[in-house]
Copies of this chain bind each other. A is one copy, B any other.
Amino acid sequence: MNEPTQRIVDPDALRGFMFRLLAAAGCTEEAADAGAESLYEAELRGYGTHGLLRLPSMVLRIRSGMINTRAKVQVAMEREGSALVDADRSLGVVGALFGADLAIRKAKRAGCCAVGVLNGNHISMAGFYAEKIARAGCVGMITTVTTPLAHVLGGKERLLGTNPLAIAVPSGGDDPILVDFATTAISFGTVLKSRARGEAIPEGVALGPDGEPTTDAAQAARGALTPLAAHKGYGLSLVLGLLAGPLLGAKVGGELARSIAEKNHYDKGDLLIAIDPASFGDPAAFGEAVRAHLLEVTSSPLAPGFSEIRIPGERSFRERALRLKEGVPIEEGVWKEAAALAGELGVAVPE
């Protein structure tokens, strides 16, 4: 099959379009702005799977009542270095941003703070929040638990989420170092895209419904994703699911899937941790030491076949700068779906 055609959209126009769609669907100005920002930042960084593509399903969830557009996000429990936030079924980004801001403020007093967010919704890119924390000067970590898509080591049934882990570290330069990965060997979005294109997926990244490893994307889409790096990714995914689920009073595994199916409630959690570098010394000296190590890393003699060494996050920041200048490529199929939604909601589609 052919590569789907794309159109180039002006960044400001794209963000405005996203905002108006969310506002027309009933979001408050603040929620629509936060939602648009997270989708827009995903598109700028080249993560189309977390961009405009997601907007129609957000609107469906608003209509079904899973997402509450009149939510009042509140702190439910609080100690010096921790807090539990009740997101009141708000748009995912709203609860998680509330949690990130709280984690930053509390970490700057207590040194470190762990914030759990309950009763939120899909938070899109985990790295978005880790980056916010790092840009405020703290080390940021975040994990979240998703509905089951991956098998456990030795099992063939979907029991683990793709449970991403994102860590961002202030770099002493313009952009933080940003690590953000799912704990599966491949994303479900990539499987679906490969299936749509009739392409194979790599070996060792998924099982078919029979539990046998498969490179057939259609089989994988009906089977289960494999955790990254065998027992290491299995273990990491399992514990992250427990930290973003049961630790916060939320669900995980089959119970999480049932909370959506039976109660139309995405009963998962998000765990955000902020650490203030001032707790351990002079943040400026930390920044200098980080810069020195990054210089050493990017100056490493190259292995055969490589032309440069990139710092984690660098590719997406470069892409962001490029797209801000040259526009954002959006797949036609994604655009058409958003335009159809705009028609329904009475929102003008950008030229």
Q: Which residues of A contact B (CB under 8 A)?
A: 77, 79-84, 106-107, 109-114, 116, 139, 151-157, 159, 165, 167, 169, 177, 179, 181, 185, 207, 210-212, 228-229, 231-236, 238-239, 241-243, 245-249, 251-255, 273, 275-277, 279-281, 285-286, 289-290, 292-293, 296-297, 300-304, 306, 308-312
Known interface pairs A114-B275, A289-B246; A77-B211 also in contact (CB < 8 Å): no
Contact B110 A152 (CB under 8 A): no
Q: CB distance A310 to B154 under 8 Å?
A: yes
- B82 close to A239 (CB less than 8 A): no
Q: Are B301 and A253 in contact (CB under 8 A)?
A: no
- With A111-B114, A112-B114 known to touch, is A167 a contact of B293 (CB < 8 Å)? no
Q: State whether B280 touches A116 (Cβ < 8 A).
A: yes
**Quick check: B109 and A247 within 8 Å, CB to CB?**
no
Residue of B with least CB distance to A295:
B253
Determine the distance from Cα of A313 to Cα of B232 in the docked complex, in whole angstroms.
11
Residues of B within 8 A of A139 (CB): 243, 247
Cα of A241 to Cα of B252 in the assembled complex, Å = 31
Given A273-B112, A297-B159: A303 touches B231 (CB 8 Å cut-off): no
Contacts of A233 in B (CB 8 A): 229
Please state if A301 and B156 are interface contacts (CB–CB under 8 Å): yes
Contacts of A273 in B (CB 8 A): 112, 273
Q: For A276, give the chain B residue with the smallest CB separation.
A: B82
Other-chain contact of A111, B81, B109, B251 (Cβ < 8 Å): B81
**A303: which of B154, B249, B255, B311 is its contact (CB, 8 Å)?**
B154
Contacts of A181 in B (CB 8 A): 231-232, 235-236
Q: Are A80 and B81 in contact (CB under 8 A)?
A: yes
Known contacts A113-B112, A232-B181, A300-B159: does B312 contact A280 (CB below 8 Å)? no
Interchain Cβ contacts under 8 Å between A and B, 17 examples: A81-B81, A81-B106, A82-B276, A83-B279, A111-B113, A112-B112, A116-B279, A155-B306, A156-B302, A159-B297, A181-B231, A185-B229, A207-B303, A212-B303, A234-B312, A238-B297, A246-B286
